[in-house]
Amino acid sequence: MGKFQKGLLLMDKAALAKFFKSVQNQFDIFLPYEIDKDDPDNLMLKKFRNEEKFVINKYRTIDPLKSLFYLSSESVLPSTTKNKQRIIAGVKNCDLLSLGVHDAALLEDDFVDPNFKKWRENTYIISGDCDEALSTCHCNILGHNAYPDTKGEEMQKYDINLSPVDDEYLISIGSEKGEELLQLIKQNCEITEAEKYHVEEVERQHKEIEEKLMQINAEFSPERDVSVVSKVKDAKVWEELCEECVQCGGCTNICPSCYCIIVNDESINDDFKRIRTWDSCQLSGYARVAGGESPRDRLWERFRNRYQCKFDFIKQNFSQYGCKGCGRCISVCPAEIDLREVIKALQEV
Amino acid sequence: MSHPNPYDVQKAEILNVIEESPQIKTFQLKLEKPLEFKTGQFVELSVPGIGEAPFTPSSSHYESEEIEVSIMKTGSVTEKIHEAKKGDIFGIRGPYGKGYPLDKFKGKDVLLLGGGVGLAPLRCLLQTLIHDIDDYRSITVCFGAKTPQDMIYKDQIKEWKNYDRIHQLCTVDECKPQDDWKGRTGVVTVLLDDIKIDPAEAVAVVCGPPIMMKFGTFSLIDKGLKEENIYLSMEKKMYCGFGECRHCVMGGYYACKDGPVFTYDKIKDVEKIWE
């Protein structure tokens, strides 16, 4: 057993909305909600305003978690992060793992991003197990689960995790902040001891979602060798793979672990702000220097760079892959390019 | 624990502007507080409200309160920088990257091969080397420019002639009969034919346009220099300078954090280093 209580406590599902209502003045609360869209991929993070039909489990949202920790555009000088405490709930494991990439890059490396640090410190994360999957979900083939690791000893990225069992949630605490949050929940809701049935039921559900993901990704080997992204250098192969790419940069913007930025100064009267804004390595000007040279002038080179970054460069920098299998880049792509298919094609070269 | 904001700058007042060539100006800057740097490292210089760009100081690293930066007009930020006058204020932050490992240069023949504005970091290095000149077996300086008018640091080049231990060779790609040019003509690698160094024991530092770096490196290897003794300044797109923006990533390396100076053996297998 780890330091914190895992899967020993229970709370009523309906009590969660009651809790959020009671603390909404103290916290900005963000939750996944279904939006009106004729597609199962229809969850979006929205601010809680007494609307009880939020979704804690199911699967990932359309928008990546980074949009609340590493904003698409924000002033870093002066740093404009809000001081108000936040709760983000219904976070899925792919987003938690991606947050781990950002922690490694933006907090634990040799500099600290001022805004990211403050957003991290001000935020309590309530994660939820996935109990359904989209056709683009593929965390399993990257060796991850559709639910946070509540068994490991190490410090977790979630503060509290909720596994659904019938009308209740099985609660796991992942951090000191999770303990704090639990005390707050206890003030508003009844927490009871879990029984063997609840624990077994969660384990059964975990197996069920694992099997579902295996079915979805049956044609993609879990033991796939991703080093092909750097080994395959043939322009013809890559040109064919990116033939349909329209260079919109959607794949990198929606990726929960991509964090490339541009930094610009904006003047305001006699003063100025330094703004960092998401950038995309898929855009032609990305690596071009003032003299005009660019190491990746051609589309296929930029297309390949994204795969190399995810499966080679980030691995060299932070000992983990930059892709956690959320599948958002597949869903967003207007050209219907599927990352899984690209890697499969490279393996077959 | 409180961390400094890595994007924060200090003020740098322009003490003087020297027109080195039609495209290159050297700015003498007085800093609010000393900026200790090692030769080879770079800084981010900004025009408040306009933007920033990375530059390597061109003055000795033994001077940290007043530094000089030579800047070529090539883009929107450098265009604004070139409009600045004595008394104007720049923002400055840094230093970033790794410096030249001077310990590894000691007792050796040191060759500086530079072209165009690539002479700027080499002047910083040379002035630092001159400070401890007896530590080095010899210093050979091979500088190139497009035309005699484009050759920068003309006054210093004259001064450096006074050091016995410094051998100095200059070339221009082209010159007109009316130009008062006494050096060689041709690309900078032609100078390598005339140098007297022990290739097996020499270190070479190369900085200039990518094409010059490429052929300079190949010529040095042909002469017998070891790959691990060839130091290359990698010019890549950079915004942050410390590893956040990722624009300068070269394979598993960051040009900003792991460079901007790399030995050739380290990066020869990285794709597209010359572009």
* Residue B256 belongs to a domain: no
Residue A64 has pLDDT above 60, yes or no: yes
Residues B73 and B120 in one domain: no
Cβ contacts of A289 on chain B, cutoff 8 Å? 235-237
* Residue B247 belongs to a domain: no
Residue A112 has pLDDT above 70, yes or no: yes
**Contacts with B, A 306-335, CB within 8 Å:** 309, 312-313, 316-317
Q: Cβ separation of B245 and A113 shorter than 8 Å? A: no
Residues B239-265 have pLDDT tens digits of 999 999 999 999 899 999 999 999 999
Residue A1 has what pLDDT? Answer: 42
Mean pLDDT value of segment A129-152: 93
CA distance A274 to chain B (A): 8
Q: Cβ separation of A265 and B50 shorter than 8 Å? A: yes
> Mean pLDDT in chain A?
93
> Mean pLDDT in chain B?
94
Residues A249-303 have pLDDT tens digits of 999 999 999 999 999 998 887 788 999 999 999 999 898 888 788 889 999 999 9
Tokens read off for A25: 């003045």
> % helix / strand / coil in chain B, to the nearest 5?
25, 30, 40
Nearest CB to B5 within list A114, A271, A279 = A114
Residues B88 and B114 in one domain: no
Nearest CB to A262 within list B6, B48, B239 = B239
Please indicate if any CB of chain B lies within 8 Å of the CB of A214.
no
**Contacts with B, A 62-81, CB within 8 Å:** 76-77, 79
ipTM of the complex: 0.90
Cβ contacts of A231 on chain B, cutoff 8 Å? none
Residue B131 has what pLDDT? Answer: 96
Torsion angle of the four alpha carbons B58, B64, B67, B72, in this order, in degrees rounded to the nearest 10: 50
Residue B68 has what pLDDT? Answer: 97
HEC string of chain A equals CCCCCEEEEEEEHHHHHHHHHHHCCCEEEEEEEECCCCCCCCEEEEECCCCCCECCCCCCCCCCHHHHCCCCEEEEECECCCCCEEEEEEECHHHHHHHHHHHHHHCCCCCCCHHHHHHHHCEEEEEECCCCCCCCCCHHHHCCCCCCCCCCCCCCCCCEEEEEECCEEEEEECCHHHHHHHHHHHHHCCEEECCHHHHHHHHHHHHHHHHHHHHHCCCCCCCCCCCHHHHCCCHHHHHHHCCCCCCCCHHHHCCCCCCCEEEEEEEECCEEEEEEEECCCCCCCCCCCCCCCCCCCCHHHHHHHHHHHHHHHHHHHHCCCCCCCCCHHHHHCCCCCCHHHHHHHHHCC
> Which of these, B92, B53, B58, lies nearest to B75 by C-alpha position?
B53
Beta-bridged to residue B172, according to DSSP, are: B145, B185
- Which amino acid type is present at position A345? A
**A79, A252, A282, A293: which to substitute to probe chain B, counting the most B Cβ within 10 Å?**
A293
Residues B30 and B128 in one domain: no
Please indicate if any CB of chain A lies within 8 Å of the CB of B49.
yes
Residue B197 CB coordination number (10 Å): 22
**B55, B249, B257, B269: which to substitute to probe chain A, counting the most A Cβ within 10 Å?**
B249
* Residue B260 belongs to a domain: no
Mean pLDDT value of segment A120-127: 97
Q: Cβ separation of A290 and B53 shorter than 8 Å? A: yes
Residues B110 and B226 in one domain: yes
Residues B86-142 have pLDDT tens digits of 999 999 999 999 999 999 999 999 999 999 999 999 999 999 999 999 999 999 999
Least confident range from A174-183, A264-273, B87-96, B188-197: namely A264-273
Name the residue of chain A whose CA is nearest to B7's CA.
Answer: A77
CATH of the domain at B178: 3.40.50.80
Residue A151 has what pLDDT? Answer: 77
Residue B2 has pLDDT above 90, yes or no: no
Residue A223 has what pLDDT? Answer: 67
Beta-bridged to residue B265, according to DSSP, are: none
Residue A155 has what pLDDT? Answer: 59
* Residue B244 belongs to a domain: no
Residue A146 has pLDDT above 80, yes or no: yes
Dist. CA A216–CA A330, nearest whole Å: 14
Residue A268 has what pLDDT? Answer: 80
* Residue B78 belongs to a domain: yes
Its domain, for residue B19, covers: 10-96
* Residue B151 belongs to a domain: yes
Phi, psi for residue A318 in degrees, rounded to 5: -130, 15
**B246, B254, B256, B258: which to substitute to probe chain A, counting the most A Cβ within 10 Å?**
B246
Please indicate if any CB of chain A lies within 8 Å of the CB of B74.
yes
* Residue B180 belongs to a domain: yes
Angle at A82 between CA A77 and CA A85, to 5 degrees: 145
> pLDDT over 90 for what percent of chain A?
83
Residues B196 and B181 in one domain: yes
A147 versus A287: the higher-pLDDT residue is A147
Residues B92 and B107 in one domain: no
CATH of the domain at B14: 2.40.30.10
Name the residue of chain B whose CA is nearest to A259's CA.
Answer: B245
Q: Cβ separation of A290 and B251 shorter than 8 Å? A: no
Please indicate if any CB of chain A lies within 8 Å of the CB of B239.
yes
Q: Cβ separation of A313 and B251 shorter than 8 Å? A: yes
Tokens read off for A316: 């060299």
Residues B64 and B106 in one domain: no
Residues B43 and B127 in one domain: no
End-to-end CA distance of chain B: 41
* Residue B116 belongs to a domain: yes
User: Of B75, B96, B117, which residue constitutes the final position of a domain?
Assistant: B96
- Report CA A224 to chain centroid distance, whole Å: 22
CA distance B200 to chain A (A): 32
Cβ contacts of A301 on chain B, cutoff 8 Å? 272
Please indicate if any CB of chain B lies within 8 Å of the CB of A262.
yes
Q: Cβ separation of A268 and B75 shorter than 8 Å? A: no
Dist. CA A101–CA A84, nearest whole Å: 25
User: Of B96, B123, B153, which residue constitutes the final position of a domain?
Assistant: B96
> Which of these, A79, A74, A89, A168, lies nearest to A123 by C-alpha position?
A89
Classified as helix, coil or strand, B178 is coil
Which element (helix H / strand E) includes B155? Answer: helix B154-160
User: Of B96, B129, B149, which residue constitutes the final position of a domain?
Assistant: B96
Q: How would you class A292 by CB atoms within 10 Å of its CB: exposed for 0-12, middle for 13-18, buried for 19 or more?
A: exposed
- Which residues have CB under 8 Å from A184's CB, separation 6+? A19, A23
> pLDDT over 90 for what percent of chain B?
88
Residues B131 and B222 in one domain: yes
- Which amino acid type is present at position A45? L
Cβ contacts of A69 on chain B, cutoff 8 Å? none
Domain count for chain B: 2
Give the Å distances, CA to CA, from B81 to B14, B52, B188.
11, 10, 28
Residues B166 and B89 in one domain: no
Nearest CB to A274 within list B7, B74, B247 = B7
At CB < 8 A and 24+ separation, what contacts does A82-85 make?
Answer: A82/A28, A82/A122, A83/A118, A83/A122, A84/A27, A84/A28, A84/A122, A85/A26, A85/A27, A85/A28, A85/A122, A85/A123, A85/A124
Mean pLDDT value of segment B190-217: 93
Residues B9-59 have pLDDT tens digits of 999 999 999 999 999 999 999 999 999 999 999 999 999 888 999 999 999
Residues B125 and B162 in one domain: yes
Q: Cβ separation of B239 and A312 shorter than 8 Å? A: no
Mean pLDDT value of segment A168-177: 94
> Which of these, A129, A130, A108, lies nearest to A117 by C-alpha position?
A108
Dist. CA A142–CA A145, nearest whole Å: 9
CA distance A218 to chain B (A): 32
Residues shown for chain B: 275
Please indicate if any CB of chain B lies within 8 Å of the CB of A36.
no
Residues B114 and B88 in one domain: no
**Contacts with B, A 99-118, CB within 8 Å:** 105-106, 109-114, 117
Please indicate if any CB of chain A lies within 8 Å of the CB of B272.
yes
Cβ contacts of B46 on chain A, cutoff 8 Å? 265
